[in-house]
Structure 1
């Protein structure tokens, strides 16, 4: 069953076979360098586009449950290396992009979260998520994908723990520590339809960029 999921659903080998048949019908020699390149380009473009659409939709739906303020409250319940681990794990289900790092860092820090926990969250969030996991499985297989995720989480936890041990809080600018603004207000209770529309809009806006 897993082999079928990896090969036919994530890897879309059926699509590769279909493209091969279509190119053969048009007289392409797939054993040649040009024919093989055309087949690979068409197959990979369609596969990655389809996977990205599905993944952006799913990730956006998950993200609608975890606004930054809610993430801050969850991480604030833990302490020590356990807090770094929770921050790293929470970062995997709240895939904020790298452009969000600065405002999220400022909001988490001004809200009183330890610097190490904030860094663990910010390291794992753009690096380890559902999208990277599924894409890696479809391209390189389960072992490499799992290894990437595990190493990403370890790096996030170790990075946050190192910052904690170095006691670098005094290196944060005063205007960030004294900033009383919230990262985001607690989101209202969204309906399933609202979340689906939000996810759809995220897919559309991503491809418009």
Structure 2
């Protein structure tokens, strides 16, 4: 009953966000149609909207994720062959979002369970890039077509990149101490959670995830507000439009050194699309920020050799390039 009441309150508040944001902008006494007014309006509306959507999505998927613990995920993937294993790993990544800080322990756990290297990479690409936060916020902010497009192409990149890496047979490029763990499968604990336990898991996910990512959300919304208010549409369309062949590789290069998460990039994506940027270019930028971030590469260096990291970046970047070019050519 408490959960239902909370959802009703959430819906009532969410329905009043537009008049609330208009009131806040009016209190500042700036011209609503000026660049500053448009930027403030974007920020005042999107900040509570994104945070509320994020809280709802994280709670719901926290409950779902209670059925997909790290141990169960590892058990499902252990012994899977490449191909079907890559598909399953990428699909599981949607429901088990792990950030960069979780990459190393998850990687070690998968390796010790005997999960093939290519299957492991499919999961590690999909988990941060194609997760419930990205899909939920994309659906809420820019519509179901963009959300489904991101889902389809994100899964494609995760599956294809993992399959290619697996076919290269690069297990010898793992760090030696990681190679020594292969085959050491630990006994997995049995779990039996009640409905109350799963609701509690959703609340804990909200405290943990929203509590950690809200500063990145605010920074992303601030960047989106600046783009929305001050960046001319013609300039942005010329730089990130489908007519500029170099826009997709440039978007990937720009995205790699950035550190953000799916939730933090969505407001920027929203603002770029509103200004006329090509969808394929924007998706390529978003994917590179999430899947190829420099901080994650630094963390993965603990378990991967520099050669394997270079192969990982090259294969994933090639997949993202294909997504950007194909989408701009046929769907923009």
Shift of residue 207, structure 1, vs aligned partner: 4.1
Seen in structure 2, the aligned counterparts of structure 1 residues 207 and 136 have a Cα distance that, compared at 3 Å, is: closer
Point out the more displaced range, 139-148 or 99-108: 139-148
Partner of 2:124: 122
1:142 maps to which of 134, 141, 144: 144
Seen in structure 2, the aligned counterparts of structure 1 residues 80 and 201 have a Cα distance that, compared at 3 Å, is: closer
Q: Is the 8 A contact 1:127 1:152 kept in 2?
A: yes
TM-score relative to the length of structure 1: 0.83
Point out the more displaced range, 29-38 or 46-55: 29-38
1:199 maps to which of 196, 199, 202: 202
Point out the more displaced range, 190-199 or 27-36: 27-36
- Which structure 1 residue ranges, 5 or more long, are not aligned? 1-8
Name segments (4+ residues, structure 1) moved above 6 Å: none
- Which structure 2 residue ranges, 5 or more long, are not aligned? 1-10, 213-332
Partner of 1:162: 164
Seen in structure 2, the aligned counterparts of structure 1 residues 26 and 88 have a Cα distance that, compared at 3 Å, is: closer
Seen in structure 2, the aligned counterparts of structure 1 residues 131 and 187 have a Cα distance that, compared at 3 Å, is: farther
Partner of 1:6: none
Aligned length: 198
Q: Let me know the Cα RMSD of the aligned residues.
A: 2.5
Seen in structure 2, the aligned counterparts of structure 1 residues 187 and 41 have a Cα distance that, compared at 3 Å, is: farther
Shift of residue 192, structure 1, vs aligned partner: 1.5
Q: What is the rounded CA distance, in whole Å, between the counterparts of 2:127 and 2:108 in structure 1?
A: 16
Partner of 1:101: 103
Shift of residue 177, structure 1, vs aligned partner: 2.9
Q: What is the rounded CA distance, in whole Å, between the counterparts of 1:171 and 1:31 in structure 2?
A: 56
TM-score relative to the length of structure 2: 0.54
Partner of 1:16: 18
Q: Is the 8 A contact 1:67 1:187 kept in 2?
A: no
Seen in structure 2, the aligned counterparts of structure 1 residues 173 and 83 have a Cα distance that, compared at 3 Å, is: same
Partner of 1:67: 69
Partner of 2:298: none
Q: What is the rounded CA distance, in whole Å, between the counterparts of 2:28 and 2:176 in structure 1?
A: 67
Q: What is the rounded CA distance, in whole Å, between the counterparts of 1:90 and 1:103 in structure 2?
A: 17
Q: What SS class does the counterpart of residue 83 from structure 2 fall into?
A: helix
Shift of residue 124, structure 1, vs aligned partner: 0.2
Q: Is the 8 A contact 1:16 1:43 kept in 2?
A: yes
Q: What is the rounded CA distance, in whole Å, between the counterparts of 2:132 and 2:75 in structure 1?
A: 22
Q: What is the rounded CA distance, in whole Å, between the counterparts of 1:124 and 1:27 in structure 2?
A: 45
